[in-house]
């Protein structure tokens, strides 16, 4: 559950970033609109994450080994400590920034998922299945961004 909360924090930081871009007075109208679209997309992601969080609460979740949990928690905290700033003046720059950020988040999710596997049965765990879902959604978003780049 704590890991899910940390994923939600990552999404909120993305929303703040895109909202900040959209409120800059000297921003081009195209970049402003695109940043609002990206912020709206993060809102959808947050709704999706909250839905997954509720599913976790409704299920009996397997206990994650403390050493694995500790490393996963550390990775997410390190990711959250990164400062992301952007001075995008064109839609292409904003899409490229967003694409790279989404790829970094996907890499984080894949790293976490890989750490959850100690044997073949671990691929049937709730955490693994939920992360698989999150990875599929993130991969789709990346493909959408690549198609608009």
Which carries the bigger pLDDT value, residue 105 or residue 59?
A: 105
Contact status, residue 7 vs residue 76, Cβ threshold 8 Å: yes
In order, the DSSP letters of 16-54 are HHHHHHHT-TTS-HHHHHHHHHHHHHHHHHHHHHHHHHH
Tens digits of residue pLDDT in 12-36: 999 999 999 888 888 899 999 999 9
Q: What percent of the chain has pLDDT over 70?
A: 99
Query: Under 8 Å CB-to-CB from 148, ≥6 apart: which residues?
Result: 95
What φ, ψ does residue 23 adopt, rounded to 5°? -100, 0
pLDDT at position 29, please? 92
pLDDT at position 108, please? 95
According to DSSP H, which parts of the chain are helical? 2-22, 29-58, 66-81, 91-116, 126-147
**pLDDT at position 104 over 70:** yes
Q: What percent of the chain has pLDDT over 90?
A: 52
pTM above 0.85, yes or no: yes
pLDDT at position 42, please? 94
pLDDT at position 99, please? 94
Confidence of residue 61 (pLDDT cuts 50, 70, 90): confident
Q: Average of pLDDT values for 49-67?
A: 82
Buried b / exposed e across 90-118, counting CB within 10 Å, b at 16+? ebeebbebbbebbeebbebbeebbebbee
The rounded distance, in Å, linking the Cα atoms of 21 and 39 is 10
DSSP state of 124: G
Confidence of residue 1 (pLDDT cuts 50, 70, 90): low
């Amino acid at each position: 559950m704590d890991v899910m909360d940390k994923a939600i924090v990552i999404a909120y930081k993305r929303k703040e970033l895109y909202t900040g871009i959209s409120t800059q007075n000297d921003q081009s109208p195209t970049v402003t609109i695109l940043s609002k679209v990206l912020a709206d997309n993060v809102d959808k992601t947050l709704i999706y994450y909250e839905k997954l969080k509720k599913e976790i609460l409704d299920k009996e979740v397997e206990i994650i080994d403390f050493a694995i949990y500790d490393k996963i928690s550390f990775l997410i905290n390190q990711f959250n400590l990164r400062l992301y700033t952007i001075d995008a003046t064109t839609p292409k720059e904003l899409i490229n920034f967003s694409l790279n950020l989404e790829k970094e988040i996907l890499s984080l999710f894949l790293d976490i998922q890989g750490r959850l596997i100690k044997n073949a049965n671990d691929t049937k765990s709730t955490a693994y299945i939920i992360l698989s879902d999150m990875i599929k959604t993130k991969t789709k978003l990346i493909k959408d961004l690549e198609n608009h780049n």
